[in-house]
Amino acid sequence: MHKLYVFAIIIFSVIISLVIGQSSSAISPNIVISQVQLGNAASASNEFIQIYNNSDAAVEITNWCLYYASASSIQNGSKLTCFTVENDSLHIYLPGHGSLFAISNQYAISAPSLGSDYRFSATLSGTAGHVRLIDNLGTEVDKVGWGATAVSAEGNSSSAVPSSGKILSRKIINTNQRQDTDVNSADFEIVSPDANYAFGLIYEVQDLCVNIADIQTSIPDKYQADVVGNCNLIPIDICLNLDDIQTVVPVGYMVNDVGNCTQIPVDVCLNLDSAQLVVPDGYGLDENSNCQPDVCQNIDGLQLVVPENMDASSGDCLLHDECLNLPDIQANMPGGYKHDADNNCMLDLLPLKITELLPNVAGIDNGNEFIEIYNPNDSDIDLLNYVIYVGISNPKIYSFPIGLHIGPHQYSAFYNDDIKFTLVNTTSQVRLSSIDGVLIDETPAYDSPGDDMAWAVIDGNWQYTNQPTPNDTNLPSLAKVDPEIVTETNLQPCPVGQYRNPDTNRCRLIVSTVSTLAPCADGQYRSETTNRCRSIASDVVALVPCAEGQERNPDTNRCRSIATAVLAASDLTACKVGQERNPDTNRCRNIVSTIPDANYAPVQTSEPTNNYVIWWSLAGVGLVATAYGLWEWRHEIVGLFHKITRFRHFVK
């Protein structure tokens, strides 16, 4: 059963490979995608696509379209732009060795002087993807895939991804030829953009006979065109002098002998004063043959009122354009737009607030400087149509990464490693605008902020704070107090006779000279060390007499026992043999008079302690450790013994 699973997987993989392989090559040997810009250093949204005609002859590209697909897609993808016409009688041609130039709407805004043939909304991935050119029948004409993960590149081999400031460009064989081997990696190279790009080379051709095969730029002989653009054989003209073919005499006309038709003198406008032989300018005949004002003189037939979706101007009726400031005709207000005070169509973007900047980081700037934006609205906001301007006099513009959103009532900090902006440490400001240049919010300029000091709006005012709070509510600065610095104004005054120590800020006594001290009492004297009064120890009169058998120590004035012959020798216990009585203390002591005098100073010695117990303990522990080691490594020891034995036999 497992083998069947493996076989099924192999068969499925082969089928997928064949499908991908069959869809990986283009069919056109003439029209090719020649250059693709995925963005430039100014903005990732500055994109363009160039198409080139490799042949000498012009090629019709009416209703062809450019598509973009993701790296993993094998389908056409999403439509970027199409080369459409106003009606079926018009046809668009790309001349031989000519090019068509299409740019993103964002690129057109950031580079107003850059012309183009068509525009599209920026969506090309900077890492991997596909661009396809599809003809009016839905057939793939050419495509290019870039990036290692692009699964549908021509030849199943995608082109490399251009670095910043570079583009994908098809290799040039000669002045008029671009290489097309149907292998993207072989056909494309990474180069710098051209200095200039041509546009306006495509042209329209009107087919005067839509019912005849091929395009008729002039009406064939013996044919005439009707009002819907069909060409029919010319019937016999009864009125040679009148325009168009008259198969019958028109109403109100008569034919003379030479084949000319002249009007019968008659008033064609019965409702107007005086006779009107012809319908006056600005009028038309209604169904009752009355002449009525024609409000749309540029449209065939009588128009009594301006048709729906049209506007009248100087007697002509034109399609109503809701947005005169936008290219093409906008019959209705485009989605996501609104009218401004000048009745121009501008992007209808919800307001956002810039709430915090961190321009001066103490350390590495990259990845630490940030711009914080707050969404005060109740809905999630896509940042695709928002841009940031950084700087005061020549600000630089930065787009947000595609797909970035801010949730309702959410703070979002954008760091300078995701959006490559720079907040200088001197003075600058940040503005938030729509991609069409409408200001949404801006900060006041900051000036020389300190290290890690954020420029933030707190309680409606912009101020510096030492508490940066990316992605959260802003907080005011915390007061920094040095505990070692205490101003004297915060201390209580010292009491009388004290002063404040400048080193500790504590109060201490004022040391005065002896002459300012109060005299000591009788029987006292002043200590030279402490300046305090103390009793005179020599005043024996004030001392209590010593008890019987005691005497007063002259050094301490304290009573002590009389150590002299107060007791009879017969009252003392006799000293032991080899001892004598100390006459000072009456205590027995060893007789040392027989010890000869040494000619050197005595040295104190000590008898070594008995360490047998310690040595036996160490020997026991060592024996246990050795036995444990032999048991643990018994296999290794036996192996080593065998190796030594074999080595000895080998030596013999």
Q: Is the pLDDT assigned to residue 564 strictly greater than 80?
A: no
Name every residue whose Cβ is closer than 8 Å to that of residue 271 and which is 6 or more positions away in sequence: 290, 291
Name every residue whose Cβ is closer than 8 Å to that of residue 211 and which is 6 or more positions away in sequence: 229, 230, 231
Task: Please provide the distance, in angstroms rounded to a whole number, between the alpha carbons at the two ends of the chain.
Answer: 64
C-alpha neighbours within 13 Å on the C-beta side of residue 420: 6
At residue 270, the pLDDT reads 79
Q: Is the pLDDT assigned to residue 512 strictly greater than 50?
A: no
Model confidence band, residue 567 (pLDDT cutoffs 50, 70, 90)? very low
The answer to whether the Cα torsion of 169, 175, 176, 182 is positive or negative is negative
What tokens appear for 15 in the block?
A: 């089928």
Residue type, 81: T
Domain check: are 461 and 514 in the same one? Answer: no
Mean pLDDT, residues 22-27:
42
Query: Which of the two residues, 608 and 150, has the higher pLDDT score?
Result: 150
Integer Cα distance of 588 and 579 in angstroms: 6
Integer Cα distance of 396 and 400 in angstroms: 13
Residue 130 · residue 73 · CB < 8 Å: yes
The three-point CA angle 42-399-373 to 5° equals 140
Integer Cα distance of 161 and 602 in angstroms: 96
Integer Cα distance of 411 and 601 in angstroms: 89
Integer Cα distance of 225 and 208 in angstroms: 7
Q: What is the CA radius of gyration of the chain?
A: 55
Q: Is the pLDDT assigned to residue 100 strictly greater than 70?
A: yes
User: Which range is least confidently modeled, 26-30, 93-97, 144-148?
Assistant: 26-30
Model confidence band, residue 17 (pLDDT cutoffs 50, 70, 90)? very low
Domain check: are 36 and 131 in the same one? Answer: yes
Residue 472 · residue 410 · CB < 8 Å: no
DSSP state of 514: G
Q: Is residue 55 part of a domain?
A: yes
Q: Is the pLDDT assigned to residue 27 strictly greater than 70?
A: no
Percent of the chain exceeding pLDDT 90 equals: 44
Domain check: are 394 and 531 in the same one? Answer: no
Q: Is residue 618 part of a domain?
A: no
Domain check: are 417 and 510 in the same one? Answer: no
Q: Is the pLDDT assigned to residue 604 strictly greater than 80?
A: no
CATH number at 356 reads 2.60.40.1260
Q: Is residue 186 part of a domain?
A: yes
What tokens appear for 475 in the block?
A: 């907080």
Query: Which of the two residues, 503 and 387, has the higher pLDDT score?
Result: 387
Domain check: are 461 and 500 in the same one? Answer: no
Q: Is the pLDDT assigned to residue 413 strictly greater than 90?
A: yes
User: Which range is least confidently modeled, 65-74, 428-437, 495-504?
Assistant: 495-504
Domain boundary among 143, 176, 201: 201
Query: Which of the two residues, 143 and 543, has the higher pLDDT score?
Result: 143
Domain check: are 414 and 542 in the same one? Answer: no
Model confidence band, residue 515 (pLDDT cutoffs 50, 70, 90)? very low
- Token pair 């990696």 is found at 185
Domain check: are 455 and 518 in the same one? Answer: no
Query: Which of the two residues, 637 and 467, has the higher pLDDT score?
Result: 467
Q: Is residue 487 part of a domain?
A: no
Domain check: are 51 and 148 in the same one? Answer: yes
What tokens appear for 48 in the block?
A: 């363009």
User: Which range is least confidently modeled, 68-77, 419-428, 616-625?
Assistant: 616-625
Integer Cα distance of 269 and 423 in angstroms: 77
Residue type, 643: K
User: Which range is least confidently modeled, 162-176, 227-241, 394-408, 626-640?
Assistant: 626-640
Burial of 477 (0-12, 13-18, 19+ CB in 10 A): middle
At residue 648, the pLDDT reads 63
The three-point CA angle 143-39-97 to 5° equals 45
Strand 99-104, strand 118-120: pairing: parallel
Integer Cα distance of 319 and 306 in angstroms: 10
At residue 608, the pLDDT reads 46
Domain check: are 105 and 164 in the same one? Answer: yes
- Residue 195 is part of which domain span? 23-201
Q: Is residue 2 part of a domain?
A: no
At residue 647, the pLDDT reads 62
Domain boundary among 422, 449, 465: 465
Residue 410 · residue 378 · CB < 8 Å: no
Q: Is residue 538 part of a domain?
A: yes
Cβ count within 10 A of residue 372: 23
Domain check: are 456 and 416 in the same one? Answer: yes
Model confidence band, residue 18 (pLDDT cutoffs 50, 70, 90)? very low
Domain check: are 44 and 189 in the same one? Answer: yes
Mean pLDDT, residues 201-218:
85
Q: Is the pLDDT assigned to residue 467 strictly greater than 70?
A: yes
Give the ranges where 355-451 is alpha helix by DSSP (H). Answer: none
Q: Is residue 445 part of a domain?
A: yes
Residue 271 · residue 283 · CB < 8 Å: no
Strand 31-37, strand 579-581: pairing: unpaired
Work out the mean pLDDT of the chain and round it to a whole number. 82
Residue 530 · residue 511 · CB < 8 Å: no
Q: Is residue 63 part of a domain?
A: yes
What tokens appear for 419 in the block?
A: 């959006």
pTM of the predicted structure, to 2 decimals? 0.37
Domain check: are 182 and 58 in the same one? Answer: yes
Residue type, 604: Q
Domain boundary among 519, 542, 564: 564
Number of folded domains that form the chain: 3
